[in-house]
Chains A and B, each alone.
Chain A
């Protein structure tokens, strides 16, 4: 007797197409997904192609998808610009210090709210949640931030965005899903609340913290709004402000700083310089994001968990 083993498809959510209409559906789905991937990737590929192509070919409009010729001259022009490196350095400072502060204070705020016996739990929960739904608005916030002396201070990039209420709620949900016995046992053995948070809650919610770290870091890295409002001093400004000048305000500071011999090649390099700046700005994001990919699904799901 032979047992016919039907081969299951690798993906349990799809099955082998048998009817002609299913085959058609298969094709439609493939086309759809491939189209989505191309639409997403094309702008980036084009930007990279322009940034490494020969300047003259770019100026003639020959570059459509793949690079034409090869020239890194413009790269050295950009990298010689001191403002770029100052901005880059500032951005890294704001991202690293900012994210660390974000995580520390989010955990400090979330842990008390996750303890079911905490006598102010409900009141403080409301105190935080309310800020997600109502705000004083741009002008009063601006008056407060500048009023406490944060204008042209590095702290203006950190303090006003110290804790995100939404992320705090995610962190609190994760902490309250840790088995309560662990805390009770630790408390019986005399562990303080600080010890419980640091040695029980935090290690057990590492995947959530990884996602929060990603969200915070990306927000700090991309922060343009606070910098525009509160940082007038170009020595403190982050990369996003520099990018805005080069990409959107047609600033030719890069060409100017590159000096005389570059000025001759100015026209054909303007576009290249802009696209090189995009490449330089996007590299850190493209390097980091795929590594946290596995946590992303659980992280996004957490956002939907009700309070």
Chain B
């Protein structure tokens, strides 16, 4: 939207009283009403519910419990940070996202470059459709396939390891495998889909630049390094910043479906801990406090990434 139309809209609105504005925009207000109620109930009311993190909240007390429960201040926070779990959970959450980023981020870019360099456009299209399909498969199915493929008794991977003369590995209950499996399966599921945006960026590079380089006798490799990668630099930076903003947003569902007490050492993350403490052990106040800490750190990450993006590209993500 142009600045001019926005300014003129402000001018139009300036000469009117609130009553006139409401009367004029009554249908727009009416239209937005259900969405307003939705966000109030399912997003803002839970934000009010954060006070639970400072209370001794009991389930039976319902909504009123939010205002009548005993105030305990920072008790839950100090309990969490002095527990042996705090450091392990923060480390696991951070490392899981960090490795996902380090290994997961470059693959779609490499794949996008490769696919745009194929001369057969039909094969390029087929390869794209095939590789983005896993993105749409549910986490339950992906983890289900992984668990069954890796099963020590009947899994295909262990079958092949044994045929090659190796020893069967109990992948899913070995803490040293958890992060690798999480990162590899995540990359498998998303690399094709995540490459779409880079493919589009490469296609947006002016074809006449290629011809110029061809005339200059540049090799394919030179072309990739000196033309294509610089051409999609902005896209890479923008997406990197967006990914950084969500860095701590470890997929609860996937960890929850993958892990077991045997791999808590490397697999237990903040969100799964919150789930166990809150929903399974009914320690609502304590779990909300840990959850609030998690939300606050996540918020700080998003704000930082938004600030970085404004610096880097002049555009904000808001």
A positions within 8 Å CB-CB of B: 9-17, 19, 21-22, 25-26, 29-30, 32-33, 36-37, 39-41, 43, 46-47, 61, 64, 105, 108-109, 111-113, 115-120, 124, 127-129, 131, 133-145, 147-148, 159-160, 162-163, 168, 176, 180, 192-194, 197, 218, 221-222, 224-225, 229, 240, 243-244, 247-248, 270-271, 274-275, 278, 281-282, 285-286, 289-290, 293, 296-297, 300-301, 303-304, 306-307
Contacts and interface: CB of A to CB of B under 8 A. Distances in A.
Given A131-B44, A137-B291, 18 more contacts: A11-B120, A11-B121, A15-B214, A17-B220, A37-B127, A61-B154, A61-B159, A105-B35, A109-B35, A137-B274, A138-B274, A197-B31, A243-B138, A248-B143, A274-B144, A285-B136, A289-B133, A304-B235
Interface string B196-210: 110110110101001
Contacts of A159: 38, 42
Nearest to A196: B27
A306 B310 CA distance: 11
A269 B302 CA distance: 48
B221 A116 contact: no
Contacts of B5: 116, 180
B127 A33 contact: yes
- Contact residue range for chain B? 35 or more
B28 interface: yes
B148 A40 contact: no
A4 to B, nearest CB: 15
Interface string B143-170: 1110111000010100110000000000
Q: Is the interface of B mostly helix, strand, loop or mixed?
A: helix
Given A33-B115, A286-B133, A140 B32 contact: no
A289 B196 CA distance: 14
Nearest to A31: B114
A131 B47 CA distance: 10
Contacts of B82: none
A112 B52 CA distance: 35
Interface string B208-229: 0010001000011101000000
Nearest to A162: B38
A137 B295 contact: yes
A224 B35 contact: no
B147 to A, nearest CB: 6
B131 A37 contact: yes
Contacts of B127: 33, 36-37
Dominant SS among interface residues on chain A: helix
B132 A136 contact: no
B78 interface: no
A292 to B, nearest CB: 10
A222 B121 contact: no
B79 interface: no
